[in-house]
Amino acid sequence: MNLVKIAWRNIWRNKVRSGTVIASVVVGLMAGVFAAALVEGMMHGRFENFIEKEISHLQVHHPEFIEQPEVPLFIQTPLSVLEKVDGISGVKSVTARSRAQAMIASATYTAGVTLNGIIPDREEQTTGFSANVIEGEFLAAGDKNSMLIGKALASKLNVGIGSRVVLTFQDAENEMVAAAFTVKGIFETYYARYDESTAFVPLDYLNEQLQLGDYFHEIAVLASSMDKVQDVKKEVALLFPNDKVRTWNEISPELEYWVELGGVFSYIFVIVLMLGLAFGLLNTMLMSVFERTREIGMLMAIGMSKRTVFFMIVFETFILSIIGTVISIAGSVALIRWLSERGIDLSAFSDVMQEIGFETLIYPYLAGSFYVFLPIIVLLISLLAAIYPALKALRLNPSEAVRK
């Protein structure tokens, strides 16, 4: 305890230098924590959007449809099965979709598009897709040849609300079908490529054109929580013994990879910054040893052991680091909590963000375990920074040091 008191007094003998070191630790750590929280927030937001607004927690397909999405490869179970899925414990909502690859044409432009037949009310409960509609209206029960298209696709087709477009696709009998649709709504998501290649129409009407009757190509299930996903999967698989039931990470393994990578980046940011700060700590403590050469020599001459001198220098480094870490953690928690409620608007980079599939409003996020990990890393790197100055002090010759 006496050694800690001595170390505490030593660091405040030069308040400006010690204050500068603490400030550098605070600024460096807060910058690292902010960068980590920003990356984690981007990945967390991408994950939530992808799950809740696109693929859901589970999907069911004909086994061959996954590799070759053709109209004849539909789930041979009628739509009434949705009521049974609704009754499974842990299911929040469920919807069915028909799907066809089509050519969409206006008077000025032709493009390929993935045509999704949806049940409007169930789609809204499962993905909340109506929130993406920026012009016109979302599809409603009873609609026939109405259509939703992405803003990017509408721009290329040079169409607006009320415009008519023609779609050409193959039906379940592999016959070519052409049908006219009226643009009822234009949507915009956070992913520009999705907006360019996707359109939505009522499932009943599309099924008439596809000759599918009461069947469909895809079921999307949203669980009440992530913990329920595996249990729900087992129950859903019993209803579809001949079809493929996949969870979100089986549907999109790259999403799981990106989420895990985001967590790794959070730690890498802080470790790299702390390694940079370690050189500052090392330099500060080395200067302190050189300035106190005579003092340290006298302490060793009157009987202070080299072991005590070593730990005195180490404790001084630790104290500087701990003070900076405590202040930076308190500041970071307050900053991230404030930003997580308000978000960071990156709309100035909307073109880039939409191209890679991220929202322009980012809510920084860090798991609580990160703040447990942070002091451990700081203490380990502080120890590394303290070793060389402490060893330098041990090499001093007491008889020579006292004469300096």
What's the confidence (pLDDT) of residue 350? 65
Q: How confident is the model at residue 30 (pLDDT cuts 50, 70, 90)?
A: confident
pLDDT band at 396; cut points 50, 70, 90: low
Q: What is the pLDDT of residue 392?
A: 72
Q: What is the pLDDT of residue 388?
A: 75
Predicted confidence at residue 394, as pLDDT, reads 66
Q: Would you state the pLDDT for residue 206?
A: 93
Confidence at 351, pLDDT banded by 50, 70, 90: low
pTM of the model: 0.72
pLDDT score for 349: 67
Q: What is the predicted pLDDT for the residue at 328?
A: 87
For 235-286, the pLDDT digits (tens) are 999 999 999 999 988 888 777 677 677 667 777 777 777 777 777 777 777 7
106-140: pLDDT as tens digits = 888 899 999 999 999 999 999 888 888 999 999 99
Task: Please compute Rg for the chain using Cα positions.
Answer: 31
* Average pLDDT for the chain: 83
The domain spans of the chain are 2-50+256-401, 63-242
